[in-house]
Amino acid sequence: MHVNDTFGQGMTKAIGAMLPQPRSCRSRSSNRSPTTPGQDLTVEVSKAKAANADFLLLVCRLNDAIILRREMVKQRWQPMGIVSPGSPGMYEEQYFKTLGKLSEYSISNVPGTTRSRT
């Protein structure tokens, strides 16, 4: 899933170009979440759940990540993991504060800093 803006579309194209097509993939879903804050993600989650997806690769923003996670719990969709290739949302402190235990088992890659030792 990805946000339907320039950032989300660009990330989705880059991910598609970098990742090889899996041989044993049952289904591939490219759902788009609304960019309007507070939008309902019921349809997007139900499509992913119906596809029996093993994990969710997510390009999102903070509010979308919170709304999405709550909707996943509501629909009882429990993929093996939620992975973000460096988009904001799941690594922000507000995500953890707002969701508490619901924020667990999400993986996000973020750029790190290099410090030199003196």
Mean pLDDT in order along the chain per 10 residues (118 residues): 85 82 52 59 90 86 90 93 82 90 80 52
Q: What is the pLDDT of residue 117?
A: 45
Query: What token pair was written down for 106?
Result: 């999400």
Does residue 115 belong to any structural domain of this protein? Answer: no
Does residue 60 belong to any structural domain of this protein? Answer: yes
Query: What token pair was written down for 93?
Result: 């402190």
Does residue 3 belong to any structural domain of this protein? Answer: yes
Nearest 10 degrees: CA dihedral of 106, 76, 27, 6?
-50
Does residue 28 belong to any structural domain of this protein? Answer: no
DSSP E strands in the chain: the ranges are: 2-3, 32-33, 55-57, 81-84, 106-108
Does residue 79 belong to any structural domain of this protein? Answer: yes
Q: b vs e for 77-104, b when ≥16 Cβ sit within 10 Å of the residue's Cβ?
A: beeeebebbebbbbbbeebeebbeeebe
Does residue 23 belong to any structural domain of this protein? Answer: no
Query: Taking the model in full, what pTM does it have?
Result: 0.76
Does residue 71 belong to any structural domain of this protein? Answer: yes
Q: What is the pLDDT of residue 38?
A: 58
Structural domain total, the chain: 1
Does residue 8 belong to any structural domain of this protein? Answer: yes
Q: b vs e for 21-47, b when ≥16 Cβ sit within 10 Å of the residue's Cβ?
A: eeeeeeeeeebebeeeeeeebeebbee
Question: Which domain covers residue 94, as residue numbers?
Answer: 1-15+54-99
